[in-house]
Homo-oligomer: A and B are copies of this chain.
Amino acid sequence: MRTRVTDMFGIALPIFAFSHCRDVVAAVSRAGGMGVLGALYFTPEELEQELKWIDDHVDGRPYGVDVVMPASYEGADFAPEELVGRLRSMIPDGHRAFVEDLLAKHGVPPLSADAEAGRVLLGWTDATARPQVEVALRHPIALLANALGPPPADVVDLAHAHGVKVAALASTPRHALKQVEVGVDVVVAQGTEAGGHTGEISTMVLIPQVVDAVDVPVLAAGGIGNGRQMAAGMALGADGVWTGSLWLTVEEADTPEMAKRRILAATSRDTVRSRSWTGKPARLLKNEWTQAWESEDSPGTLPMPLQFMLVSDALRRIGRSDATELATFPAGQIIGVMNQVRPAKDVVYDLLEEFGEAVTRLDRLTND
């Protein structure tokens, strides 16, 4: 198959796979697509290790790194050295009490002293993402992606100076235009059905609008889990597809067992767009956590990055407890049809085979 993105990256298949797991990234790139490692949860040192591992296991195929530099967040004008302290002081006591109450109700124990309680994850700020960019650019990456809006123009220039292409996720045609203005090479147009941070417009409605708005190649994201959906995304005008949730249940994925079981059992109605994770709307597994934040007792969510600072310890405590009813995580609507565990390579080949069948069927309908 040949599109503008297969040409741009020298890949066989226009299939991009976002994953926080290095094994998945390497497996998809080896299978002819493009794995993209989500850097968010890694310190710069950890990211260095992950990328070194990928370099050693990707057989020289291109891969990418995804960072999160949101266009707007609380504390954007604070000095880096005082960022954490000042942000922490902005979290109201009532919010802390709500979280503690919720955990107590579900019998979630505190973290043990050695379980890195209080390690503050600040992924959703420019200040924490830049060191990740520096690490990434020391590796032979082909793509730097930004998950929340247009990346800073100087970061785009820096990537280009390293011969690295830049992608950014857009949920409206207006976002896409802003991204192209700062020099983005590929727009990932992501519909509301996607897991993680996501807008309101569906993939079906969004893709043609973005394709018509920009001259650069567009990847269709949100709701892409099989070859028919890949064909649909490209019928809408995209040059390829960007997938995420699809890789949570592959053999290679280091997704926690509990989460894998929940995904395999879920229907497409078991996700919800919620601010309870990061403060910006993100599609998550719907459960007692997301419902608690919608309840009458809820103090409301805090803006990014305060919400995740507020809840990150709680989410870690839940993950180590038996309170699986509170364990939420980003997940798109396609989890409704993810019912088995397979190697990433098989998922790639199935996408391709079903894509071909869908195109053949369309052809036949048209010529009859």
Q: Which residues of A contact B (CB under 8 A)?
A: 1-3, 172, 191-193, 199-209, 222-226, 228-229, 231-237, 267-269, 332-334, 336-337, 355-356, 358-359, 361-363, 365-366, 368
Contacts and interface: CB of A to CB of B under 8 A. Distances in A.
A191 B201 contact: no
17 contacts: A1-B365, A2-B368, A172-B269, A191-B204, A193-B204, A202-B204, A202-B333, A204-B229, A204-B232, A205-B225, A205-B229, A205-B332, A231-B232, A232-B232, A235-B235, A359-B359, A362-B362
Given A2-B368, A201-B269, A237-B358, 16 more contacts: A3-B365, A172-B269, A200-B268, A200-B269, A202-B202, A202-B223, A202-B333, A204-B222, A207-B228, A209-B337, A231-B232, A231-B362, A235-B358, A235-B359, A235-B361, A359-B362
SS class, residues of chain A in contact with chain B: helix
Nearest to A206: B268
A208 B337 contact: yes
Given A203-B204, A222-B204, A1 B366 contact: yes
B234 A362 contact: yes
Contacts of A235: 228, 231-232, 235, 358-359, 361-362
A191 B300 CA distance: 29
A365 B201 contact: no
A222 B202 CA distance: 9
A204 B223 contact: yes
A161 to B, nearest CB: 31
Q: What are the 5 closest A-B residue pairs judged by CB atoms, nearest first?
A: A204-B223, A2-B368, A232-B232, A193-B202, A231-B235
A186 B208 CA distance: 28
A314 B231 CA distance: 45
A208 B237 CA distance: 19
A358 to B, nearest CB: 5
A15 to B, nearest CB: 13
Nearest to A355: B366
A233 B224 CA distance: 13
Contacts of A366: 1, 355-356, 359
A2 B365 contact: yes
Contacts of A222: 202, 204
Q: Which of A226, A332, A356, A362 is the most central at the interface, judged by chain B CB atoms within 10 Å of its CB?
A: A362
A205 B365 contact: no
A319 B206 CA distance: 31
Nearest to A239: B365
A201 B363 contact: no
B229 A208 contact: yes
A321 B203 CA distance: 37
Given A202-B192, A204-B193, A205-B333, A228 B223 contact: no
